């Protein structure tokens, strides 16, 4: 059935470009590699779900520490292939990341969801996430 794999190397993550492009169609291999080279040294990893060798779900994640919450796991860019949505892949990713957070002595899990992405908001509410505040951004480049 489904296989879950944690990716820790740039080479493993670069192989995931096709599913990453579902969220970021403008990404080339060069852009993606450049970002990974900056992210991996800061404890960035990916969790993928595959079926018959094809990636059908992916979530990046970080384990970090902040003053307000202590140790936490942050989900980053959860992607499920359109052909596999509503088949439990998102839950499989989220539940596995929950287990990773517990195994790494995290106090909480956190994520950002766009204010207009009501489907994602409903999904995360149903998985025990609650809004804690606002994530403010100030754009510095056009």
Which of these, 109, 107, 99, 84, lies nearest to 22 by C-alpha position? 84
The CATH number of the domain holding residue 55 is 3.40.630.30
Interatomic CA distance for residues 57 and 4, integer angstroms: 9
Q: Is residue 133 part of a domain?
A: no
Residue 119 within a domain = yes
- φ and ψ of 114, to 5 deg: -60, 145
Chain segment 106-128, per-residue pLDDT in tens: 999 999 998 999 999 999 999 99
Is 111 inside any structural domain? yes
- Provide the number of structural domains found in the chain: 1
Class of residue 13 by CB neighbours under 10 A (exposed 0-12, middle 13-18, buried 19+) = buried
Give the position of tokens 């609650």. 130
In a domain, 109, yes or no: yes
Q: What are phi and psi of 46, to 5 degrees?
A: -130, 150
pLDDT tens track for 1-60: 999 999 999 999 999 999 999 999 999 999 999 999 999 999 999 999 999 999 999 999
Does residue 138 sit within a domain? Answer: no
Structural domain containing residue 101: 3-126
Which of 132, 87, 86 has its CA nearest to residue 109? 132
- Is 100 within a domain? yes
- Indicate the pTM of the whole model: 0.93
């Amino acid at each position: 059935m489904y296989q879950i794999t944690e990716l820790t190397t740039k080479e493993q993550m670069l192989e995931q470009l096709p599913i990453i492009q579902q969220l970021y169609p403008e990404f080339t291999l060069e852009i993606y590699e450049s970002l990974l080279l900056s992210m991996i040294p800061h404890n960035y990893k990916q969790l993928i779900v595959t079926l018959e060798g094809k990636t059908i779900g992916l979530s990046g994640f970080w384990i970090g520490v902040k003053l307000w919450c202590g140790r936490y796991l942050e989900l980053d860019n959860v992607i499920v292939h359109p052909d596999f949505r509503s088949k439990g892949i998102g839950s499989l990713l989220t539940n596995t990341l929950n287990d990773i957070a517990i195994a790494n002595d995290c106090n909480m899990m956190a994520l950002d969801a766009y204010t207009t992405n009501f489907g994602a908001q409903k999904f995360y509410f149903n998985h025990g996430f609650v809004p804690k505040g606002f994530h403010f951004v100030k754009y510095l480049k056009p």
